[in-house]
Amino acid sequence: MINQLKYHHLDTSYVAEIKKALLTFTALTILLTGGFAILLFKLEMDQFSPFLMLVPLLTSVFTQKIMLKRPILGPNGFGFRLGKKRFLIVGPLFSFIFVVIVFSISYLLHPNLFSVEQARLTIQNMSIFNENVSLGINILIAGLIQLLLAPVLNMLIFIGEEVGWRAFLYPNLILLYGKKGMIYGGLIWGVWHTPMIYFYDLNFGPHHHLGFVFMTIFCVLTGIILQYMYYKSDSILTVSLMHGMLNITGTFIFAFIVINEYQYFIDGPTGIIGLTILFMIAVFCYKRFSVHAFA
């Protein structure tokens, strides 16, 4: 199991050291992300906004090495290993099934969410569109390419976030506060999304204020699940693939949605439907999570 802290005793000086490191990491991560987000927004370079996910990686490496004098690699590092290999498949598959179930429920509640016309328009705008095969085959091919290759090809970006949260922030918060540390970590992760919500309309379109609240709830619940999977898989690669599959599957399916039928706070993984399912899974993971893995 990942046990990067097992050789330390929680004396007063060490607790103070961890708290200082966590404060530094949190402040640097939020300020740098916000600063770069504003810069990209002003320069109209929104296409580079996904690289903001690398900021938690950089700040966690700095804090881990410079402030806490801990290793990045190895058994007490950031989980850069295959770990329990079955989770490399189970993890992303979980994310895929979750997103499909959420959008399927949304479709059952209001069937106008998807339309053949929207699907045809979307697929025709893709570079892989083949006019010699049916619309359904085109969608299937596009989906397979997107869902099988994109999480792997974009692994570095997703690792950027997961190292910062799952391998650095959460284990240290758990060390200090027990299971509640996962909730605190989710709140920080939610706040970190603020620039993306307000500048790039992430997940909630123009509904920024309520969107921030929903995103924070989403981060708290998803963070518990991902941390549990990090603990079970013994690998940062597993949770990075899970994160990637979640984002990419949601983005791919959203491309086929009739926008004026989409209800931001009901549909999708970050709407009430998704949050309800995540809540049930998160409660299960929270109850089964062992703080001894990080003590």
Q: pLDDT value at position 292?
A: 67
Look at phi and psi of residue 71 and say left if phi exceeds 0, alpha if psi is from -120 to 50, else beta: beta
Q: pLDDT value at position 12?
A: 85
Other Cβ atoms closer than 10 A to 12 = 7
- State how far the Cα of 34 lies from the Cα of 24, in Å rounded to an integer: 15
Q: DSSP character for 144?
A: H
Buried b (16+ CB within 10 A) or exposed e, 116-150: eebbeebbeeeeebeeeeeeeebbebbeeebbeeb
Q: pLDDT value at position 230?
A: 97
Q: pLDDT value at position 7?
A: 39
User: Would you kindly state where each structural domain of the chain is located, as residue ranges?
Assistant: 12-294
Helix, strand, or coil (residue 220): helix
Q: pLDDT value at position 3?
A: 43
Residue 147: closest CA among 253, 219, 34: 253
User: Mean pLDDT in runs of 10 for the chain (295 residues)?
Assistant: 46 90 98 96 92 96 95 91 95 95 96 91 86 88 84 85 97 94 98 96 95 98 98 96 93 92 96 98 96 60
Q: How far apart are the first and last CA of the chain?
A: 11
State pTM to two decimals. 0.92
Q: pLDDT value at position 293?
A: 54
72, 79, 272 from 87: Cα distances, Å: 22, 14, 28
Q: pLDDT value at position 10?
A: 66
